[in-house]
Structure 1
Amino acid sequence: MQFYKIFWLGMFCLFLLNGCAFFNSEKDVVTLSPLPEVKNQFTLNPLWSTSVGRGIGKYYSHLRPVGNDTSLFVADRNGWVKSLKLDTGKVIWQTNLSQKTGFISTKNDSAMLSGGLAVDSDLVYVGSEHAILFALNVSDGRVVWKTQVAGEVLSRPIISSDLILIHTGNGIIQAINKINGSIDWTLNLDIPTLSLRGESAPAISSGTAVFGGDNGRVSAVTMDQGQLIWQQVISEVRGSTEIERLNDVDMRPLIVNGIVYAAAYNGNFVALQLNSGEILWKRNLGSVNDFAIHAGYIYLVDQNDRLLALKSDTGIPVWKQSDLLHRSLTAPLIYNGYLVVGDSEGYLHWLNTEDGRFVTQQKVNRSGFLSAPIEISGRLIIQARDGTVYSFVQK
């Protein structure tokens, strides 16, 4: 019973953080920013669109498409996983995992897929709020194995050599054997009573896995045995309200040239030494979204939906774009030299990476976006909340 109290309190706080408006007092109202007026410099050429089930609806399920040179893999929360032809969007195969969880008693029940997708040459991986990790054959969608894990799989699985790393909703990191789904090792980290809905997917480099925690720390562990190498606090609890005291590190760290970049909600954006966790620089910027690094610059969306560019060697801000405040932006993508983000009203916004000026905006879907766009073979792919998947190229 205590778990459910914490869960619904967390969902309530998440609604406050990501909703269109919330109230601190009668005079303190934060609302969705109106759309900026943009003179479009180019248009998007839609190649195709298709639907995958019912999407995620209003749930916080980061189901993001993945693909290879010929195929795209997509999923909805209820349990549909599909393989699509990358060029046309036509269905190659489809599998309904709601029939394979062991929890289903009626046809209206959901597999509650929430963590994924990830793909390698042989298998497609997706996790669920039922604490199951599935591995599907890339050729026909057949379930090769499924494993009961330590908790809800809220972040996407990360593939490394013969292991799949997952970070469950109760703060546990597990390494799963890619061949048979057995659990190689488990690392249990402490989590606070109240935290944001979501977990940091691990980043991997030189035999080390680095991930954020709900306790404001970034941790590094050995890939082979899951032994802790170092921990670094990048956000300390402060403030008088529960929301002000949230300090989760929910985004996936990035590792570039032996340097770890990470950010915490209500905390700092930092650069750390991979081998020691030593802080090289830090800036007072909070975020829960993944970010992008390109050509010596970091591009991120902060907790108020400001878009920023920082120099990666110093963390010094280069520009800031504040015209999309509280529009619940997706994580950014660098595509054809532009910065691209989606928002909760279903718009795609394109910005100049040098100065943050708007270049193009386009309404794509009424249900809005939660997960970031991706690029595959020169195509921009994005999945809307209602399950519609779009493929674009820039005209």
Structure 2
Amino acid sequence: MNKTAVALCLLLLMPGCGGGKTVREEPAKLQEFTAEKRIVEIWTADSGASAVKKAVVLSPALDGDVIFTSDPKGRVRAFAADSGRERWETRVSQLVTGATAAGDGLVVVATKKGEVIALNRVDGRRLWTSNLSSLALAPAAISAGVVVVQSVDGKLTGLSAADGKRLWRHERTEPPLSLYGTARPVIVDDAVLTGFASGKVVALQIRSGKLLWELPVTQPQGRNEVERLVDVDVSPVVVRNVLYAANYQGKIIALDAQTGRILWSRDASTFSGMDSDANNIYLTDDRGNVLAFDQRTGASVWKQEQLRARQLNAPRYVDGLVVVGDFEGYVHWLSSDDGHVVARHRIGSSAVRAQVLVSDGKLYVSNQSGNIAALRLEKN
């Protein structure tokens, strides 16, 4: 079984993917509810070619007052966040993976041939191109003059934001089978944090790539390679110097971001993502449940099961609500207090796989067909 097959198996939620008869869990039907908020659609735009049948996620980037997008045909676009008006469009020479990042005056995309291309944030002009050892599916992290990219072969590379020259490379020994994807690196102060298919989370010095610490989220267990998958494909979340990390078929852990000391650990399984507020960590598990954990103790706060098997994306916390999108283009707003459904809105008919973006009270939602919408919630 190759990586793509594993990815498809997980997306379809097939418990028998490792061998034998496969049984797909039917997505939960949407239940009626009393809407507590009204969704206002501020603007919509076409951000590029569809990726519905491709193993990539169209992930826009929000930097200041501009949203940047890329599509599988190599088109990179900039939209004004307040109006959706297109500011510029650029075509790069290669097909891109949809992983878009922005920061330090750059817009950075990765190509299917393992290139990293940096464009000028203002006008889309190409500034530099750098080669990786393989393609990157997750967006880069950009800070302190360094562009950090994680490729699917388990290598983490630091590039100069000025000219794209390689500053360092961190390599891990990866298992023979892993999920098709990687975590997006997270930069905190002078350290870059990320997870690997081996089930480990590492912290590196951002300018030198020096290893500061590494820690397994969980150890592989099981009788075959599928059962032993423990990929950390979820970007870590850092709150008040505490790092929260989670993996597939493993755990969610809280640890000191400076030392790597574990504070607590709970069983969990995810390949979608997490977010936080001042008190809780929110996680979409591999069955389509949305979970809330207490940041201090790891105790379960609530579990929302009404969206089970709807292939939810990573949750996003905003103004007392937890926002998730599903495979049919629906966006659901859940109460952060108990997880009940507060509002719902549909963005086209294709899957919402990228995590929702938030700025100035607006939510920016994109789907796999290349549609992007700016939304605002109001009281009924």
Query: Shorter-chain TM-score: what band?
Result: over 0.9
Identity, in percent, stands at 28
Identify if the C-alpha distance between structure 1 residues 87 and 275 changes in structure 2 by more than 3 Å, giving closer, same or farther: closer
Distance 1:129 1:135 in 2: 15
Report the counterpart of residue 4 of structure 1 in structure 2: none
Distance 1:20 1:171 in 2: 25
Report the counterpart of residue 94 of structure 1 in structure 2: 89
Structure 2 counterpart SS, 1:282: strand
Alignment check: 8 A CA contact 1:23 1:30 kept: no
TM-fit CA distance, 1:114: 3.5
Identify if the C-alpha distance between structure 1 residues 26 and 281 changes in structure 2 by more than 3 Å, giving closer, same or farther: same
- Of the candidates 169, 172, 191, which is equivalent to residue 189 of structure 1? 172
TM-fit CA distance, 1:23: 5.0
Structure 2 counterpart SS, 1:204: strand
Distance 2:305 2:255 in 1: 27
Distance 1:22 1:283 in 2: 22
Report the counterpart of residue 123 of structure 1 in structure 2: 106
Distance 2:63 2:48 in 1: 22
TM-fit CA distance, 1:326: 1.2
Distance 1:88 1:27 in 2: 46
Total equivalences in the alignment: 376
Report the counterpart of residue 29 of structure 2 in structure 1: 34
- Aligned ranges 1:72-91 → 2 under 5 Å: 72-91=67-86
Distance 1:236 1:338 in 2: 33
Gaps of 5+ in 2: none
Structure 1 counterpart SS, 2:250: coil
Alignment check: 8 A CA contact 1:114 1:129 kept: no
Distance 1:130 1:29 in 2: 33
Give the TM-score normalised by structure 2. 0.94
Identify if the C-alpha distance between structure 1 residues 388 and 356 changes in structure 2 by more than 3 Å, giving closer, same or farther: same
Identify if the C-alpha distance between structure 1 residues 276 and 350 changes in structure 2 by more than 3 Å, giving closer, same or farther: same
Structure 1 counterpart SS, 2:2: helix
TM-fit CA distance, 1:245: 1.5
TM-fit CA distance, 1:235: 1.8
Identify if the C-alpha distance between structure 1 residues 68 and 208 changes in structure 2 by more than 3 Å, giving closer, same or farther: closer
What RMSD, in angstroms, separates the aligned Cα atoms of the two structures?
Answer: 1.7
Report the counterpart of residue 106 of structure 1 in structure 2: none
TM-fit CA distance, 1:381: 0.4
Distance 2:119 2:23 in 1: 49
Report the counterpart of residue 108 of structure 1 in structure 2: none
TM-fit CA distance, 1:314: 0.9
> Structure 1 residues 236-245 or 351-360, which shifts more?
236-245
Residue 128 of structure 2 is aligned to residue 135 of structure 1: no
Report the counterpart of residue 341 of structure 2 in structure 1: 358
Structure 1 counterpart SS, 2:244: strand
Structure 2 counterpart SS, 1:283: strand
Give the TM-score normalised by structure 1. 0.91
- Aligned ranges 1:260-275 → 2 under 5 Å: 260-275=243-258
- Aligned ranges 1:196-215 → 2 under 5 Å: 196-215=179-198
Alignment check: 8 A CA contact 1:55 1:75 kept: no
